[in-house]
Amino acid sequence: MRRETPRHSMRLTELPWPIPLLLLLVVVAGAAGCGAGPTGFATSTVDAATAQRQLDTAARQGITDYTEQVDTSYDADKRAFQVMATVGWTPEIGIGDVEKSQERAKTICFLVQRALWTSGVPLREATVTILGPVQDDYGSQTTDAHAVAYLAAQTSVAFTWDALTPDAAWGRYDRVWLRPNYQPNVVHPHTP
């Protein structure tokens, strides 16, 4: 007894050549749009305002023990987030305590970067700037940068945040800068 194939059933190889090509294009286009952005990182349907709020909350929560003076900005097109946290002198950390102040700045950068990159909001880059008091050449106190830590998404994927310390992370960020002192760089002696 011979079995007949129903008329409506065809193999892919029996279809006219443009149809398999069209099917292939649909599959490839569908796969390309399923959660991968141009850098290969997951994308999200989170709107810009929601993303900014979530990132802002994440950045602030980790550093409330150090400062409440935090400014943030979010560029939705670039998926870039910037944090500027301002610190002051404390009874434990003063203008001459360079090492302690640098450790505090590295710790704040670490806490913020970790909070941002583990927030679930897709980012391409994050910059954390720590501002604080410095003394200018005239002996006046002003506010200037104490530290900057920049991290890009491609680098962040290699971070195991729970296994890192602020010092270990500092050496792995894409770009960093740390103020070497908080007093004037040049002192002009007064001559009579």
pLDDT confidence of residue 11: 47
Kindly write down the DSSP assignment for every residue of 68-99, as one continuous string: SEEEEEEETTTTEEEEEEE----SS--TT-HH
Residue at 43 is within a domain: no
Give 42's strand partners: 36
Instruction: Give the Cα separation of 81 and 42 in Å (integer).
Output: 17
Residue 132 lies in a domain: yes
In a domain, 66, yes or no: yes
* pLDDT (0 to 100) of residue 15: 45
| Residue range(s) defining the domain that contains residue 145 | 48-178
- Domain membership of residue 60 (yes or no) is yes
Percent residues over pLDDT 70 in the chain: 72
In tens, the pLDDT along 84-109 reads 999 999 999 999 999 999 999 999 99
Residue 124 pLDDT > 50: yes
> pTM value?
0.73
**CB contact at 8 A, 83 and 57:** no
Q: 97-101, 103-107, 111-115, 139-143: lowest mean pLDDT where?
A: 139-143
pLDDT at 62: 79
Query: Whole-angstrom Cα distance, residue 115 to residue 13?
Result: 52
Where do runs of H (alpha helix) occur along the chain? 18-32, 48-61, 98-117, 153-156, 166-170
Does 4 reside within a domain? no
pLDDT of residue 189: 53
In a domain, 53, yes or no: yes
Q: Is residue 165 part of a domain?
A: yes
pLDDT of residue 142: 94
Q: Each residue of 13-33: pLDDT tens digit?
A: 454 544 444 444 443 344 334
Lowest mean pLDDT among 8-17, 60-69, 89-98, 124-133: 8-17
Residue 135 lies in a domain: yes
**Number of domains into which the chain is organized:** 1
